[in-house]
Structure 1
């Protein structure tokens, strides 16, 4: 046994070297990971402050300009001049020239952006003033489109042109000084953009009735025009804006107040380029410490980017190839190509973006939007009016490149050490008997998953005793594993029969007191009419067999439609759609389930030669769901929505489905409902109901 002891010591030495190397590797990895996370967090926080400072600065400058005498006077006088032009109307030939200009210049541009030819009437202005002023300041403007703002006096002799020649040079200078892409004044009474610096196609159009009434600039003007917003700055998030060629534009508005009355709204048109330059660092990622794959990007509550990803600027071909590889839709890719920017078109829905938009600031290793492991730091931005988040990230492969080098060196050193051990073991193996080799082979087979492995017992020494003990251990473990696997399988099936799969998974994960609120689900109650009387005439086992067969068919239908059965109580059946996993068409699914239940009941009654009808009540609304009890627990629902669904069933009509107004409003275009009028509901008084007869 001296040789065996010597060999054991050598192997222990080799194991110690291996453990030391592994521990050193993981500690070095943790240290580098922490350094990378700290660097990403610092970069993210710095860019967050820059973006927030940019918007605070713009808001302060806009508020200051809105209170200036120049803007107040200009607003008052431009309103009067535009109203005069509106009352004067417009000559037919001038109107036709403006329409021809749109058809020849604007419509082709929008066709290339949208990928289809839009209707000319969708973009034409409304009213006399827009046609008159767009003709003189756009159609007949001697400057190219990007320099239309240089025209001070259109030479038409109108009062508007006189005012424009006075105020426009000052307004143009102010817009240039503060860095606004465009600078506009809106009349909240008429909704018109009575003045703009750039003279784009929104000039003098109505934000209430014109082609841009649903744009974000219209929302900004409407918010700032409210009396409650006289001291507010109204910021509207980026969205594609047709007058700028579909480029993503944000609008910030401030009320123009004269003698305590809002007479106008001063609107700053903000280009995405400024935000993009801040977030991308002027596209100097390497100089900012992001390496070859690192970057920072902004996302909005719709998970669409507000700044361009790095690959889009550095390698377009690789960028679109990556989008296709991660499953981006053809529509998304086509939109990015048409508009020439991923902003407001590329969707990034990752663990980091979801957490950041939820207001959580954290770091971690995630699967990035390019489908590769990524180290990321994320957090929300504090900008009134928008809900944005910023993510800074770098590919894990690049971040851990030094660790890869260290791993390679450790493998080389470890390989040499193992080689030395192997040479020593080869010499010592002559002293080891065959049973030890057989035992080693058996252990390897067992470690590889062969739980029936056994070795012959050839000697009575320590090695033989070890072989015998190994065989006994393998046999015992095999028997216990079989018992454990069977029990686990039975427990899993039992748990899934009691609880929904997501809730069961949370319960297995150790979560206690499971309770969730759901904003909108659809609940259904069904009850067999006349079953109590029928069951009194049937033997007990036939009653159980009848109900089991019927409710089993209900369960099959619920499973096919993605509906969660909650419980049965006697001859009543309760189900819900829209939880624990939300679905968009929960009301439609539940009504289809109700229809199937009525048909199934008819078929089951005919097959069993009994007279039986089903009464179903359906309601949509918020509920609270959770687990009740410690033993024999059940997943149940509570709330007014559940109570009203139960009342719809109890006050319903046999062989029909009775629904509430929320269900009717959602499905009235998909199903034919018969109004039943107000019915008396316990605890609610009169409630409107509709019947879906079958």
Structure 2
């Protein structure tokens, strides 16, 4: 019984684990491994390459902005040293000191003091209340001494010009020696400040600490930085440092801090000693606003134009980890900016300070791995958690500016930086799944149909390889395997003739390849490159379609249709060749072309528009010559594309991407005998061609898209 049982089950085993099953399993496993290894390696290498490219771009942007900020300060320092050593500044400092001392000894009448106090109560205190969030004591800000009251009355309270226009008053007309000197020196000093770009330009007496002259005539005018309300300001620190040095090359820079006379705005002060006969008689002070630095770091709010995308930016931080330039979100969307600050745990006091002062500078703290390293003097790149609480790719480093310790960080959100990789991962999963299905189907078919005939064919090939040119194999089927066996039998006796034919065909195929593909692409194929796919950042694509062609040719013989269409497209090809435009393909009565690849050209949009104009005129002429009614509709778009070779036995060079799709939609949505373009084309050529706005048109998959018609 056991012997019979074994005999009954044995026929099933070869069917299950025979060569066909092994072949199928092996092919599927090999296919799966190949797809998985290729996909994983491709994904991680692409991610590494993209990450490196992003870091390189961020580092280049950071280094550029670092040089710009450092150059700005070197220029300011040189200008300040030059002015401090000029005869004008030395003479003005000496004479203003004498005039102010004289006014201090003379004093100021009580009624004049009262008017100055009333001005502070009506103008200055409300401003400080808004900034501080509480009303300060008036006595904390009133000047000390007779000269400040006297000069502030004549140059601030009674100044016919108020605000930033106070500097326009040259002579207060009070008859004092100070006003006489002011009428002489103020126009020169005001012009110097405007020329160099100082926010304010001041002279301090190092002996008394008094600001004996300012251009802007703010509330600090003639007050003492030693005993007055601003004795703890960074302006007082700059004067104190420079007063100790009789070195004409010395420059004292104090970091940004809120400055009450300037409305609490972030102000930095740079001082240079004014030296007369080896003695420091004054300190020349430049009042620097952070707006200039902010414009440099933010690129004039042109983040996208500078390659930072939607989330990238650069910002400065000081040793206190407070920003010295405002983050991008503050300028683009303050509502989202404050919401993000709250979401990452920023204190209400910090947010309230930013809102009161109208700037994050000196109020928003950014304490990250990048800012800590930059302030420690270390250059670097890496992925960090940014100040908005999201993963960020960043490049950081210090700035070489004597007197301050600043760091600069350039960053972009990881989600935006790796968006192309996420799309690649999705595409790899799709392609890998399709490839596995194809391998499984192929393996199943091969395991069933190929093994038997292939064994015989293999034996025949071995005999032929051994020199038996009369070898033949039996033809057992009429399918492809049978045809292969029959072809093998005929190959031996026709080998010489076939070799000659093959050589001729190779020459013909080479010529045909040059007709089908651009020469650079054909050369790459001949060089052994199998997968040709390139990305082009900026090209122009055009689609053209004959309006009324189907109705026109419905009653024409086929030969006439082909002759008519061939004549028209041949003229299109000649125009494309003249303009350096690459024809991609024709589908029926549609014509597709591109300019800017495979060899990039700078004026690809202009060339394609000229090509479109020619195509419209050629179509008109062709229709007149054949006495038919026919018009051309053209759509043009510019942007990035991917181009490559499709196929194995019949090559075609084709394009993909949103740029191609939108160009096709521009054609299908255009009007007969016209050229319709997108905003990308319009913005490049609006100064060279006349376009008529068509407004927003409905585009499948895109919604409403702006379009323009070229006036022909």
Normalised TM-score (structure 2): 0.59
Describe how 1:167-566 pairs up with structure 2 within 5 A: 167-227=185-245, 231-419=249-437
| Further displaced range: 76-85 or 227-236 | 227-236
Distance in 1 of aligned mates of 2:247 and 2:86: 18
Deviation at 1:406, TM superposition (A): 1.1
Question: Could you report, residue by residue, the CA deviation over 1:565-604 in whole angstroms, capped at 9, with x for unpaired residues?
Answer: xxxxxxxxxxxxxxxxxxxxxxxxxxxxxxxxxxxxxxxx
Deviation at 1:37, TM superposition (A): 1.0
Residue 19 of structure 1 is matched in structure 2 by 37
- Residues matched between the structures, number: 428
**Structure 2 residue 97 is matched with structure 1 residue 79:** yes
Deviation at 1:242, TM superposition (A): 0.4
Deviation at 1:227, TM superposition (A): 3.3
SS in 2 for 1:269: strand
Of 105, 110, 117, the residue aligned with 2:135 is 117
Normalised TM-score (structure 1): 0.60
Distance in 2 of aligned mates of 1:117 and 1:182: 27
Deviation at 1:19, TM superposition (A): 1.3
Deviation at 1:154, TM superposition (A): 0.5
SS in 2 for 1:124: coil
Residue 104 of structure 1 is matched in structure 2 by 122
Residue 540 of structure 2 is matched in structure 1 by none
Residue 74 of structure 2 is matched in structure 1 by 56
SS in 1 for 2:331: helix
Residue 131 of structure 1 is matched in structure 2 by 149
Distance in 2 of aligned mates of 1:192 and 1:153: 21
Deviation at 1:7, TM superposition (A): 2.2
Is the 1:138–1:199 Cα contact (8 Å) retained in structure 2?
yes
Is the 1:182–1:198 Cα contact (8 Å) retained in structure 2?
yes
**Structure 2 residue 193 is matched with structure 1 residue 161:** no
Deviation at 1:33, TM superposition (A): 1.1
Alignment gaps of 5+ in structure 1: 428-694
Deviation at 1:232, TM superposition (A): 1.1
Deviation at 1:30, TM superposition (A): 1.0
Question: Could you report, residue by residue, the CA deviation over 1:382-431 in whole angstroms, capped at 9, with x for unpaired residues?
Answer: 0000001111111111111211221111111123345567889999xxxx
Question: Could you report, residue by residue, the CA deviation over 1:427-482 in whole angstroms, capped at 9, with x for unpaired residues?
Answer: 9xxxxxxxxxxxxxxxxxxxxxxxxxxxxxxxxxxxxxxxxxxxxxxxxxxxxxxx
SS in 2 for 1:238: strand
Question: Could you report, residue by residue, the CA deviation over 1:30-61 in whole angstroms, capped at 9, with x for unpaired residues?
Answer: 11111111111111111100000000000000
Is the 1:376–1:394 Cα contact (8 Å) retained in structure 2?
yes
Residue 535 of structure 1 is matched in structure 2 by none
Residue 52 of structure 2 is matched in structure 1 by 34
Question: Could you report, residue by residue, the CA deviation over 1:108-148 in whole angstroms, capped at 9, with x for unpaired residues?
Answer: 11111111111111111111110110010001111021100
Deviation at 1:365, TM superposition (A): 1.0
Is the 1:230–1:262 Cα contact (8 Å) retained in structure 2?
no
Question: Could you report, residue by residue, the CA deviation over 1:50-101 in whole angstroms, capped at 9, with x for unpaired residues?
Answer: 0000000000000000000000000000000000111111111111111111
Distance in 1 of aligned mates of 2:151 and 2:201: 17
Distance in 2 of aligned mates of 1:369 and 1:422: 50
Distance in 2 of aligned mates of 1:326 and 1:11: 49
Of 88, 112, 116, the residue aligned with 1:70 is 88
| Further displaced range: 28-37 or 69-78 | 28-37
Distance in 1 of aligned mates of 2:353 and 2:68: 29
Is the 1:239–1:249 Cα contact (8 Å) retained in structure 2?
yes
Distance 1:265-1:235 versus aligned 2 partners, 3 A rule: same
Is the 2:245–2:273 Cα contact (8 Å) retained in structure 1?
no
SS in 1 for 2:180: helix
SS in 1 for 2:304: coil
Residue 144 of structure 1 is matched in structure 2 by 162
Distance in 2 of aligned mates of 1:160 and 1:255: 22
SS in 2 for 1:11: helix
Is the 1:143–1:151 Cα contact (8 Å) retained in structure 2?
yes
Distance in 1 of aligned mates of 2:245 and 2:327: 40
SS in 2 for 1:288: coil
Deviation at 1:364, TM superposition (A): 1.0
The structure number with the bigger radius of gyration is 2
Distance in 1 of aligned mates of 2:85 and 2:60: 38
Distance 1:320-1:422 versus aligned 2 partners, 3 A rule: farther
Is the 1:187–1:265 Cα contact (8 Å) retained in structure 2?
yes
Distance in 1 of aligned mates of 2:270 and 2:194: 16
Distance in 2 of aligned mates of 1:426 and 1:378: 57
Describe how 1:659-674 pairs up with structure 2 within 5 A: none
SS in 1 for 2:314: strand
Is the 2:28–2:440 Cα contact (8 Å) retained in structure 1?
no
Deviation at 1:229, TM superposition (A): 5.3
Task: After the TM superposition, list the runs of 4 or more consecutive aligned residues in structure 1 that deviate by more than 6 angstroms.
Answer: 421-427
Distance in 2 of aligned mates of 1:358 and 1:248: 24
Deviation at 1:180, TM superposition (A): 0.3
SS in 1 for 2:401: coil
